[in-house]
Amino acid sequence: MATVHSRANGNGTTVRSVKPEQAEDENIFLFIPNLIGYFRIVLAVASLYYMPLHPRTCSILYSVSCLLDALDGYAARAYEQGTKFGAVLDMVTDRCTTTCLLVFLAQAFPRWSIVFQALISLDLASHYMHMFATLSMGGGDQSHKNVDESRSWLLKQYYSNKVVLTPAQKVLFTFCALNEAFFIALYLLSFSSPLLSPTLLADHNNPSSIQPGSPAAPKPSTFFASPFSAAAMEMARANKMDSTVPWIVMVASCPVMILKQWINVVQMVKASQWLAEGDRATRKKEGLPRKDKKSQ
């Protein structure tokens, strides 16, 4: 009979390990949580395809991909299939999808492109430094979601699986969901709000005008060489949507989005301090700086 041991994996969950001869029969890449992760990627790529011209379809695909982020975690715990590969796949998918959306917003709102560039840089830098610090300082089996409260109470509450806002939503999922909701709403407003996108204003005094935002403009097939050109996006904006719901979602989720960015800053600072502690310990162990070293 195989001996069963418990250990913490890359997802921060406890799984059972078995004898090597039994474990080698498992195909990690076909674990249910990882299959969900692959499906998330497919939905994300599909949303990118529709992003320039079909905001409704894009938003639905993108939102479903984000919501499945919670399902793979439940599947990992339910089927005891939490893996380091799954944890990395989950984080990489999150970072890539959010980055792609922010790149589009930088194009849709060029005057604010530096803000979106800063958000992309902060998101990537903070998560990379946090995971690297966790792996190098906490050990190879340490999950990036296992945060010592003595290091940061805020990050402990953010990553904790025990803190819930409602019976169905956890702090981590809630923050991520509302953060994504803000950017999705802003994306929809780029197609529906003349306040944010002045080109949506149609020239009603000149119906034959080809001014962006005028439904009377020539058909895309005869006027635009590429359906994914910047001009084609302006044509898509002519098919205006109601902006009421996106405005409500954006305003409601804005405080959480701001707090999420602050958490990214705290995460990056704490990871930097943790790495610096390790550097000081290493240098002390190696006897650096060598005070008795002769000056050259």
Enzyme catalytic residues: 94
Q: If we measure between CA atoms, which residue out of 191, 180, 203 comes closest to residue 249?
A: 180
Q: What span, in angstroms and rounded, lies between the C-alpha atoms of 227 and 57?
A: 16
Q: List the end-to-end C-alpha distance of the chain, in Å, as a whole number.
A: 66
Under 8 Å between Cβ of 128 and 97: no
Cis peptide before 215, with omega less than 30 degrees from 0? Answer: no
As to burial, measured by CB atoms within 10 angstroms (0-12 exposed, 13-18 middle, 19+ buried), residue 85 is middle
Whole-Å CA distances, 117 to 70, 98, 100, 102, 121: 27, 12, 11, 8, 6
Please state the φ and ψ torsions of residue 84, each to the nearest 5 degrees: -65, -40
| Beta strands per DSSP E along the chain | 5-8, 14-17, 164-166, 169-170
What b/e readout covers 102-137, taking b as 16+ CB neighbours within 10 angstroms?
bbbbbebbeeeeeebeebbeebebbbebbbebbbee
Partners of 47 in beta bridges: none
- Helix-helix angle 32-50:55-78, to 10 degrees: 170
